[in-house]
Amino acid sequence: MTNQPLCAVSSLHFSVPDLNHKPLFGSAPILEILKNINLEIPRGSVMGIVGESGSGKSTLGRCLVRLNSPSEGKIVFDGKDIAFCGEDEIRPLRKNLQMIFQDPMSSLNPRRKIGQIVASALVACGESRAQAKDKALFALDHVGLSRDFANRYPHQLSGGQRQRVGIARAIALEPKFIVADEIVSGLDVSNQAQIIVLLEKLVAELDLTLAFISHDLSIVRRLCDRVAVMRAGEIVEQESSDNIFKNPSNEYTKALLDAAPLPEITPGWI
C-alpha cells in the first residue's frame, strides 16, 4: 500500500444560494456552508468529525462521498480528483464510497425486506442476483444479525438492529471508505456500546477507512485516531485523538469537552 492518504480534501468550499434573503429581482446572495476545508484521511484510519449542529459536519461528510457537489476545491480519493467529475465517471467509484445515515427508519425503505434492502445496492453495482443474495446474508452475519432477519421489514426491528442493517448495507459492497453520519446518536447507551464495539471490529477486520461524524466526544475519543473539530463551516482544530483530548489548544474544543456530561458527580458543572 502507498502512504498516500485514501481521501485528501484541499481548500474545499461549498456554498448554496441563500433563498431566504433573495431580492425580488436578481440573484440570491451566496451562503457559504463550508469554508476552506483541508483534511487528510489516511488509509485504515478512523477520522472523527465533531462540531455543534449547523457547523457543516454532515455537509462535509456528504461532500466526501459526493452526495453534495462542492463549489470549489479538490477531493482526491484514491489518487483521483472526484470533486467535479460527472455522474458516469463517479458511478464505478460509488462502490467504494459508502454512507451510513443517522436515522435508520427514514433511510431504509419501509416496504422492502431487510434482505432486499441490503442486496439492492449489490445488484446496482452489477452483481448477479444470486451472488448479491449471498453477499447480503454474509454482510448480515458480519453485523451480528441472524439470517432470518433478511425476511423481516424495517418496522419489525429495534433501533439498534435497524442501525445494524444500515451498517450491513454499507459493508456489503466491501467499500474502501465509509462515512458514518451520527449513527449512534438515536440509540440508548447499551445499544450505542454494541454498535461502537461492532464498528471497531469491522474496521479491524475489513480494513476500512471511516469518517465518523458525531457530536459526542466520548464516542469519538473511543473510536477515532484523528479528530477534526468544526465550527461554522471551518475546521478549527485537527489533531490526533490523543493530543486533542489531553491538551486541546482551541477555545472552542475546550468548550465542547467541558459540555460533554460524564457519568460522575461534578459539583458546579451546571
Partner 1 sequence: MMSERPCLEINNLSATVNHVGERVLRSVSLSVYRGEVHGLVGESGAGKSMIGKAVAGLLPRAVKIIEGSITLEGISLDDLDEKGRRHFLGETCAVIPQDPLTSLNPCRRIEPQITDRLIKTLGWKKTKARSRALELLEEVHIREPKRVLRAYPHELSGGMRQRILIASAFATEPKLIIADEPTTALDVTVQKQILKLIKEMEERHGTAMLFVTHDMGVVAKICKNVSVLYAGKVVEQTDVMSLFSGKNNHPYADALIEATPRYDKPDHSLVPVDVSINQILASEILEADKIWKGVGND
Provide the binding-site residues for partner 1, judged by CB under 8 A.
52-54, 158-159, 187-194, 196-197, 215-222, 241, 245, 255-266, 269-270
36 or 191: CB nearest partner 1: 191
Contacts with 122 (C-beta within 8 Å, 6 or more apart), sequence order: 131, 132, 135, 136, 172, 173
Other residues' Cβ atoms within 10 Å of the Cβ of residue 76: 17
CB of 216 to partner 1, least distance (A): 7
Which CB, 90 or 193, lies closer to partner 1?
193
> In the complex with partner 1, which residue's Cβ is closer, 167 or 220?
220
> CB of 44 within 8 A of CB of 79?
no
- Name residues whose C-beta falls within 8 Å of residue 185's C-beta, 6 or more positions apart in sequence: 102, 214, 215, 216
Give least dist CB 3 to partner 1, A: 26
Do 250 and 229 contact (CB within 8 A), yes or no? Answer: yes
Nearer to partner 1, 202 or 217 (CB): 217
Closest by alpha carbon to 183, among 157, 158, 215?
Answer: 215
| Pairwise CA distance, residues 190 & 248, whole Å | 29
Least separation in angstroms between residue 217's CB and partner 1 is 5
- Residue 3 or 146 with smaller CB distance to partner 1: 146
Rounded Cα gap, residues 234 and 247, in angstroms = 20
Task: Find the shortest distance in angstroms from Cβ 33 to partner 1.
Answer: 15
The distance of closest approach from Cβ of residue 45 to partner 1 in the complex, given in angstroms and rounded to an integer, is 16
Q: Enter the C-alpha cell of residue 243.
A: 493530543
Ramachandran sector of residue 249 (left: φ over 0; alpha: ψ -120 to 50; beta: rest): alpha
Q: How near is the Cβ of 20 to partner 1 at its closest, in Å?
A: 9
CB of 148 to partner 1, least distance (A): 20
Closer residue to partner 1, CB minimum distance, 44 or 144? 144
Under the phi-then-psi rule, with left for phi > 0, alpha for psi from -120 to 50, and beta for the rest, what region is 233? Answer: left
Task: Specify the residue, 28 or 260, whose C-beta has the smaller distance to partner 1.
Answer: 260
